[in-house]
Structure 1
Amino acid sequence: MTTRPTDELITLRDWLRYAVSQFNAAGLHFGHGCDNAYDEAVWLILHTLHLPHDRLEPFLDARLTAAERLAVHHVLQQRIARRLPAAYLTNQAWLGEFSFYVDERVIVPRSYFANLLEEEFAPWIESPAQVRSALDLCTGSGCLAILMALTFPDAEVDAVDLSTDALAVAQRNIADYGLAAQVRPIHSDLFGALAGRRYDLIVSNPPYVTQAAMDALPQEYRHEPALALAAGADGLDIVRRILVEAATHLQPGGLLAVEVGHNRDLVETAFPELPLTWIDTAGGEEKIFIIQREQLPAAQAAAT
């Protein structure tokens, strides 16, 4: 008779060891919240057993029931066989201390803006009360729009995306945080549906993956919407449009902040004339640039 893992693995410690071994043997790729097999195994097992995600030690020697063993085995097999990111298996992703619903209609949130918003955009914004209107361009799951609303409680926040599927997820998250009166989801191709709207702050984590990087993506990333990742040969198709159009949607003195990942060299090569300020956060260095409205080409042209 064949022996199954669900027969031999009894305690949570047993299952954790087994999961790490299986993840490593399968050559899984990590990068959607965890960067190694151990952390991801802990996350998936604790979530499946409905245990606190930050409390492992008290439960390591707890014996799992037969039903719990089947549930844990199933989620581990899904992670391995389908190469699904853990966030899609749990329908949960975290930015700092904030949790968001996600599924395959949106990319898994992993923005460097979370650290910047935690610090209230200091020193570029002196006081949260200064921001009365804000825009999250390419909002996806709505996570950054929600963090902006929490950071700038006096601001009306627009959450824009081209994907109606993504906006449905964003709407769910906005409702979960009770922010429907403050955060407005808008279906728009960048600024296309925002005629006449101006903002004190625009943030964007747009698609910025180069074609070469898209071609080399691990299988886990191919479950994410390509629309939210791919941005042409040099990864700047969307960034170019944002820089051309942003000035007409910023208040005087307003700020534009754009996340471009590891593409700083590509950005500076494409826009050598722009006085971009590159930001270091706790999550990464020089992944976000900031520029004031008056420094953008359209604003400079209008002033001459």
Structure 2
Amino acid sequence: MHHDAEHCNDENCDHDHSHDPRDELVTVRDLLRYAVSRFNRARLVFGHGTDNAFDEAAYLILHTLHLPLDRLDPFLDACIPSNERAEVLAVIDERAESRKPAAYLTGEAWLGPYRFTVDERVIVPRSYFGELLQDGFAPWVPDPDEITDALDLCTGSACLAILMAHVFPNANIDAVDLSADALEVAARNVEDYGLEHQVHLLQSDVFSALGGRCYDLIISNPPYVTQDAMDALPPEYLHEPAMALGSGTDGLDVVRKIIAQAHAHLKPGGLLAVEVGHNRHLVEEAWPDLQMTWLNTAGADEGVFLIRREDLPA
């Protein structure tokens, strides 16, 4: 006869079914509190879609329970049956123990309202361009309808190319990456959005496979992490492809190729915009005479520089 450990007072009871303290976590609120404490104790690092333990825990719990990701409050006091609780606890455990970014546990990442399929073949989508493209890259692009050719260099999951397809409806968009693995993930996302006719994926080392193609707008979120920063990366970032993060001693090896070759691939009046995070000082040291404009976003002041074709080295 099977004894239910919770109701067993017999000293000879089978202790293989001993009480798990986590069985006392009954509601979403309980699980959320537990997850935040667990993540803080484990000293997890955030920066792949959320920037704190609470938001990360809420996202993982809501996703696992198939609840709307923007509606936590109505469900806080919902009681969770044991089978669902086991699923939630498993994902909390894996986040704390594996140190994988949440996006790799759920297989998805978000830029604003846009959802993308991701896995460890691509970096987790996060880019200041997500905000800059929301308003059609105004004021630098006066009329989004007039962009007919655009390029996303180092496309990864194709997240920025897909955003561009939405804000520049008349544009043919090329999306380039050196990684064949990344392009497989990108192809899935382009297909999910039904954009195969508008977004064209190409394997290329920056411009090398693009022949004589020219664009109204080139954007790039290239690898730009310095070697010192690569050596000090928290475990979360080690799950991402290193080639998508690091780029030489000063982090600017790929940016050098882009700046050297972009003039030949821009139409007259065309624009190049490149994300370099917090490395403005390194960029200005490397190109002291280049006429560039630094763009502000909510995520960072001056994390993206903009150069007109006419100001690029020919």
TM-score (norm 2): 0.94
Residue 211 (structure 1) aligned to one of 227, 231, 253: 227
User: Quick one: distance in 2 between partners of 1:54 and 1:130?
Assistant: 35
1:61 aligns with 2:69: no
SS of equivalent residue, structure 1 residue 39: helix
The alpha-carbon deviation at position 3 of structure 1 amounts to: 2.8
One-letter amino acid of the structure 1 residue matched with residue 148 of structure 2: R
1:241 aligns with 2:257: yes
Aligned pair in 2 of structure 1 residues 5, 88: CA closer, same or farther (>3 Å)?
farther
| Aligned pairs (5 A) from 1:37-56 | 37-56=53-72
Contact kept in structure 2, 1:138 and 1:161, CA below 8 Å: yes
The alpha-carbon deviation at position 5 of structure 1 amounts to: 4.4
The alpha-carbon deviation at position 15 of structure 1 amounts to: 0.6
Structure 1, unmatched stretches of 5+, are: 299-304
User: Quick one: distance in 2 between partners of 1:293 and 1:133?
Assistant: 15
Aligned to 1:111: 127
Contact kept in structure 2, 1:135 and 1:158, CA below 8 Å: yes
One-letter amino acid of the structure 2 residue matched with residue 96 of structure 1: G
Matched residue count: 298
Aligned to 1:137: 153
- How much is the aligned-residue C-alpha RMSD, in angstroms? 0.8
1:222-274 alpha-carbon deviations (Å, 9 max, x no partner): 00000000111101000001000011011111000000000000000000010
| Aligned pairs (5 A) from 1:136-285 | 136-285=152-301
SS of equivalent residue, structure 1 residue 245: helix
Aligned to 1:290: 306
One-letter amino acid of the structure 2 residue matched with residue 224 of structure 1: E
Aligned pair in 2 of structure 1 residues 69, 156: CA closer, same or farther (>3 Å)?
same
1:42-93 alpha-carbon deviations (Å, 9 max, x no partner): 0000000000001111111111111101100110111011001001111111
One-letter amino acid of the structure 1 residue matched with residue 40 of structure 2: N
One-letter amino acid of the structure 2 residue matched with residue 42 of structure 1: A
Residue 48 (structure 2) aligned to one of 4, 23, 32: 32
The alpha-carbon deviation at position 283 of structure 1 amounts to: 2.4
1:11-61 alpha-carbon deviations (Å, 9 max, x no partner): 111111111111111111111111111110000000000000011111111
SS of equivalent residue, structure 2 residue 188: helix
User: Quick one: distance in 1 between partners of 2:162 and 2:152?
Assistant: 9
User: Quick one: distance in 1 between partners of 2:134 and 2:175?
Assistant: 19
Contact kept in structure 2, 1:6 and 1:69, CA below 8 Å: no
**Which 4+ runs in 1 deviate beyond 2 A?**
none
Residue 18 (structure 1) aligned to one of 34, 42, 59: 34
User: Quick one: distance in 1 between partners of 2:21 and 2:185?
Assistant: 36
SS of equivalent residue, structure 1 residue 255: strand
Contact kept in structure 2, 1:6 and 1:66, CA below 8 Å: no
1:84-142 alpha-carbon deviations (Å, 9 max, x no partner): 10011111111111111111000001100011100111111100122100000000000
SS of equivalent residue, structure 1 residue 118: coil
User: Quick one: distance in 1 between partners of 2:20 and 2:135?
Assistant: 49
SS of equivalent residue, structure 1 residue 178: coil
Aligned to 2:10: none
